[in-house]
Structures are given as C-alpha cells and as structure tokens.
C-alpha cells in the first residue's frame, strides 16, 4: 500500500493560483499517476490563504484547515492542524512505503512521525534542493531528514553532495501525449515560460531581446518581476506578455513555436542543484531549447548552449540563423526521443520499485 504525501491543487484549478507553480503541480500529478499509489495525501499549498474545499478525486485526498486567519502565527497553527488531520489518515497505511514530495515546512512533522513513531519506510522524491553551510535552522533540519530517508529519487545531481545511502537520479517525468505535431521551423519567435524571477533570468531575457528587435519574445507566467515584464512590453513592440495561461492555452502557444528559453542565472546558488523540469516538458513537444546551463544528465548536443551575456546570446542567435531547417527538425526529433526513452511513466515506476527494493537490503 504505497502512499504519497505532497502539496497539490487540482490541475483544472491551477490557473486560479498565481502563487502555485504549474510545473511542480504537474510533476506531482504525473508521479502519482505513474506509480500506482494507494493513496495520495495532498496538502493544499500553504500559500493558498482561502479555504478551497477541493473534491477528492480517485486516490487523491485533499487536506486544508483554515480554522484561524491565515496570517503570522495562526498560519503555523493551521498547518499543525492539517498535519494532525493527515496523520490520522496515514496511520492505517503505515506498514507500506510512504513517499514525500520534497521535505518542507508543510511536510516535515508528518515525515518525522511516520518514520520514528509509525516506523514506516519513508522515501523522498527530491525536486528542490538548497544546500548552505548553516548547521542550524529549518533548511539544515530538512537536509538531515532527507539524509535519514530509506531512499531518495532526486531530479538533480546536487543530491550527491548529501550523505544518502540509497540515492537514484531521475531528471523528470512526463505524462503520455499522443500525436505531438512536428515543429514548423520559425526563427523569429522565442518563448520564456515560468516564474518571472531573477533566478530564472527574466531580467536578462528582457534586456537581451530589447536589443534584438528582429526577434520576438513571448512571455508566459507570473512572479515578482511581472511589473518589469510589463514595462518592457510597453516600450518594445517585439516583447509580448501572454499572461498566466491555463494548461490548454499554454500548449496552444507551445505548439505554435519552435524555440524555448531556459535562462537561469548562473550566479544563483540554487540553480546549481535544481533540474529545470520545464526543459523536459519542452523536449517532449519537440522544442529546441536555448540554455545558459549544460546539464550532466542531458546528452551533449541536445541543448543549444549560450552564455549569460548579450554578446554570447547574439552569437547563438546567429548560429541558429545559419542552421538549416533539416538540422533543426532532426534536433527536434532527437529531444523527443530522449524524453520517451528516459522519462516515461514506465521508467519512473521502475525506479520507484528499485529504490524500495534496495532499501530492504541496506
């Protein structure tokens, strides 16, 4: 009776919450669908302040308490009440594997009780990792709990820095999609999709495209730099903000372009240990990705690499301009095949089973 503890909102409601990440939400749903969980215990993300009353669906059961106004110390009390409510349900599943999507302020008490009181085998699917030198504090506690897990599947190789006995690496998972259309090569339009934050390089992207009026930048998402995006849109006719799109609308945009941008800031420490799941999603749809990072788990030649400076990006754009349509179509097919071979439901389910089996022989 394998179970999952996570944060989640129904996919059909994701566009209603600008402070909930679409990529992470989709990843959790894919993971739960792929791995035959008996039960998915889903906290409504703590940053969602109002009571939602989501209907349970299939194996997914939602947990949200707003007994008090969701501010300051009362937010912590609400979170504790949610944990108590979930733990009552989790008790009947304690003899089976218990998986956690990350270790967070929302999850850690449930993790501790499941492992040390219920004596469950606990595992972590690790998407987000931030390592610093502090020996105390919440992040240090989360790192220690991750290291005490019976097994960890990490989306990035940053977890290799930790003292984890049973560690597996898997950079992503995608839901099955049929009849993905072949790209029509378009060297004019480029898509930036995701959090509008400095860490993701939106400021660099805007400034760069303001200097390349012959290229059109399409921006989708929400974040702390939304105001800056709108300022550039008002000033430069080649920059277009599409808003926060629901998933179907987002796919319509994705299917209409050839190139996607992954311009994470190399100077941000957090970017050294995270694998951008957006790249896997782009690849699944055959999109050609221009990236400021080379990732060790992506074979050489699948990404078009650029430096995090305007001159380098201009050179990269010229390189793309010089490539033939046949070269770009061949690259599109390669990235699609890479995703099919490595990030299918079958592949992640097999890895979960291996992780659980390896924990029994440690």
pLDDT digits (tens, 9 = 90+) for 32-62: 999 989 999 999 998 888 899 899 998 999 9
pTM of the complete model beyond 0.95: no
pLDDT digits (tens, 9 = 90+) for 270-326: 666 666 678 988 999 999 999 998 887 888 999 999 999 999 999 999 999 999 999
Top-confidence residue, 160 or 89:
89
Which tokens in the block code for residue 47? 């940053």
pLDDT exceeds cutoff 90 at 8:
yes
Position 271 scores a pLDDT of 66
Structure tokens that stand for 248 in this block: 């179907």
Structure confidence at residue 21 as a pLDDT band (50, 70, 90) = confident
Contact predicate 27/48, CB 8 Å:
no
C-alpha–C-alpha distance, residues 164 and 156, integer Å: 14
81 pLDDT band, cuts 50/70/90, is very high
Which overall architecture, per CATH, does domain 189-342 show? 3-Layer(aba) Sandwich (3.40)
Q: Give tens-digit pLDDT for 180-191.
A: 888 899 999 999
State mean pLDDT over 98-127. 95
Q: What is the mean pLDDT of residues 121-126?
A: 96
CB-CB contact of 144 with 333 (8 Å) = no
Class assignment of domain 3-175+344-359?
Answer: alpha beta
Q: In the prediction, which pLDDT does 1 show? A: 83
- Intervals of CATH 3.40.50.2000 along the chain: 3-175+344-359, 189-342
Q: Are strands 151-154 and 189-193 parallel, antiparallel or unpaired?
A: unpaired
Category of 132 on φ-ψ map: left (φ > 0), alpha (ψ -120 to 50) or beta: beta
Count of other CB atoms within 10 angstroms of residue 135: 7
Lowest-confidence pick of 85-94, 152-161, 171-180? 171-180
């Amino acid at each position: 009776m394998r179970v999952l503890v996570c944060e989640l909102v129904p996919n059909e409601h994701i566009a209603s919450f600008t402070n909930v990440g679409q990529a992470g939400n989709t990843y959790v749903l894919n993971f739960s669908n792929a791995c035959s969980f008996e039960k998915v215990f889903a906290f409504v993300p703590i940053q969602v302040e109002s009571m939602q009353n989501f209907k349970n669906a299939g194996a997914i059961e939602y947990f949200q308490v707003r007994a008090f106004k969701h501010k300051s110390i009362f937010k912590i009390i609400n979170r504790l009440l949610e944990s108590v409510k979930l733990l009552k349900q989790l008790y009947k599943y304690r003899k089976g594997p218990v998986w956690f999507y990350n270790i967070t302020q929302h999850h850690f008490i449930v993790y501790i009780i499941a492992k040390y009181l219920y004596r469950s085998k606990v595992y972590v699917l690790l998407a987000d990792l931030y390592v610093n030198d502090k020996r105390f504090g919440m992040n240090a506690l989360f790192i220690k709990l991750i290291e005490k897990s019976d097994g960890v599947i990490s989306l990035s190789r940053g977890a290799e820095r930790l003292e984890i006995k049973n560690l597996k690496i898997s950079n992503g998972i995608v839901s099955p999609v049929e009849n993905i259309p072949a790209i029509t090569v378009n060297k004019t339009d480029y898509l930036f999709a995701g959090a509008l934050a400095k860490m993701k390089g939106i400021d660099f992207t805007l400034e760069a495209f303001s200097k390349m009026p012959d290229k059109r930048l399409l921006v989708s998402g929400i974040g702390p730099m939304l105001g800056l995006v709108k300022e550039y849109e008002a000033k430069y006719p080649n920059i277009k903000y599409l808003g926060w799109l629901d998933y179907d609308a987002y796919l319509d945009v994705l299917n209409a372009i050839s190139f996607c941008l992954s311009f994470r800031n190399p100077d941000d420490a957090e970017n050294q240990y995270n694998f951008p799941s957006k790249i896997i999603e782009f690849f699944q749809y055959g999109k050609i990705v221009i990236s400021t990072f080379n990732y060790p788990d992506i074979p050489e030649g699948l990404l078009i690499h650029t430096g995090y400076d305007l001159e380098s990006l201009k050179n990269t754009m010229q390189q793309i301009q010089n490539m033939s349509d046949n070269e770009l179509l061949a690259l599109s097919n390669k990235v699609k095949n890479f995703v099919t071979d490595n990030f299918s439901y079958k592949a992640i389910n097999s890895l979960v089973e291996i992780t659980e089996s390896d924990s029994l022989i440690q």
